[in-house]
């Protein structure tokens, strides 16, 4: 994997195509990997074959959102059974599709038991993947985009990481969300410094409107060069909302 290995998040990009075709189009456009948030309506073997045919790896899938207004289940004390069903579903799918990570989506809750619930569900997932190559990730998501989301600050992510204490648990560091949380590039870098030993994957989009990365107030390519020089060796996941067709929104890739 070379410098600036870019991943396409197919929950946002190439949505004009069926998912298997979107995987092929991602490879043709120059992406080095794909992420499929919730591909469960397509058999995992088809996703695996599409990735193999395109010679492109599948990085991550998310656990189910649950019902409307939940936005994930993993931190909801009243939904442990459903959360573990979602974890089982994600692990089984990831194993067959050959995905590297499952993202345990926390959900919307202010319960005092949310932290313990999330850690217990992470422990459950880690036990299920202990003899596999699959790793578990969590992601701080800003409350402007998802009001009431539990995993909503970098400090909480590091608390969970320390509490669970597993090398198979890491952080998905989304620059768009971090900029909403911290308000500046300086704040983003402080959050990165806090979490960097545990960051498995980085995502990005322009702040504040999640549009094409070249609309950002600072250069992501320059920022990522700094992170690579600092030792980061993973992918950079494009997770933005194209203004039109995805194919016509990719001029920003030239600077990578």
Class of residue 187 by CB neighbours under 10 A (exposed 0-12, middle 13-18, buried 19+): middle
pLDDT tens, 152-209?
A: 999 999 999 999 999 999 999 999 999 999 999 999 999 999 999 999 999 999 999 9
pLDDT tens, 42-75?
A: 999 999 999 999 999 999 999 999 999 999 999 9
Answer whether residue 226 shows pLDDT above 80.
Answer: yes
Average pLDDT rounded to a whole number, residues 219-224? 97
Q: Is residue 1 part of a domain?
A: no
pTM score, whole prediction: 0.97
Average pLDDT rounded to a whole number, residues 132-154? 98
Answer whether residue 132 shows pLDDT above 80.
Answer: yes
Q: Is residue 148 part of a domain?
A: yes
Provide, rounded to the nearest whole percent, the portion of the chain with pLDDT above 90.
98
Contacts with 72 (C-beta within 8 Å, 6 or more apart), sequence order: 63, 64, 65, 66, 104, 105, 106, 107, 108, 149
pLDDT of residue 118: 98
pLDDT of residue 49: 98
Helix (H, G, I), strand (E, B) or coil at 206: coil
- Rounded Cα distance between 105 and 63, Å, is 6
Answer whether residue 6 shows pLDDT above 50.
Answer: yes
What's the helix, strand, coil split of the chain in %, to 5?
Answer: 45, 15, 40
Provide, rounded to the nearest whole percent, the portion of the chain with pLDDT above 70.
99
Answer whether residue 1 shows pLDDT above 50.
Answer: no
pLDDT of residue 24: 98
* Total number of domains in the chain: 1
Answer whether residue 2 shows pLDDT above 70.
Answer: no
Q: Which domain range does residue 73 map to?
A: 6-255
How confident is the prediction for the chain on average, in pLDDT?
A: 97
Q: Are 172 and 201 in contact (CB under 8 A)?
A: yes
**CATH code assigned at 19:** 3.20.20.150
């Amino acid at each position: 994997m070379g410098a600036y290995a870019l991943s396409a998040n197919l929950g946002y990009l190439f949505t004009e195509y069926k998912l298997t075709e979107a995987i092929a189009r991602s490879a043709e456009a120059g992406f080095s990997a794909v992420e499929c948030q919730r591909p469960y309506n397509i058999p995992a073997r088809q996703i695996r074959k599409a990735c193999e045919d395109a010679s492109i790896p599948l990085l991550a899938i998310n656990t189910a959102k649950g019902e409307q207004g939940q936005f994930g289940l993993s931190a909801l004390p009243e939904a442990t059974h459903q959360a573990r069903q979602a974890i089982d579903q994600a692990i089984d799918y990831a194993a067959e599709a050959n995905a590297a990570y499952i993202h345990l989506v926390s959900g919307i809750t202010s319960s005092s038991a949310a932290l313990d619930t999330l850690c217990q569900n992470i422990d459950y997932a880690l036990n299920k993947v202990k003899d596999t190559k699959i790793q578990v990730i969590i992601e701080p998501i800003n409350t402007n985009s998802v009001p009431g989301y539990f995993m909503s600050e970098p400090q909480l992510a590091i608390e969970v990481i320390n509490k669970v204490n597993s090398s198979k648990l890491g952080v998905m560091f989304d620059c768009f969300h971090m900029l909403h949380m911290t308000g500046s590039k300086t704040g983003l870098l402080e959050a990165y410094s806090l979490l960097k030993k545990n960051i498995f994957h980085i995502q990005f989009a322009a702040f504040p409107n999640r549009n094409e990365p070249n609309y950002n107030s600072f250069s992501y390519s320059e920022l990522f060069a700094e992170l690579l020089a600092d030792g980061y060796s993973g992918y950079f996941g494009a997770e933005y909302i194209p203004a039109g067709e995805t194919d016509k929104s990719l001029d920003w890739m030239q600077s990578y």
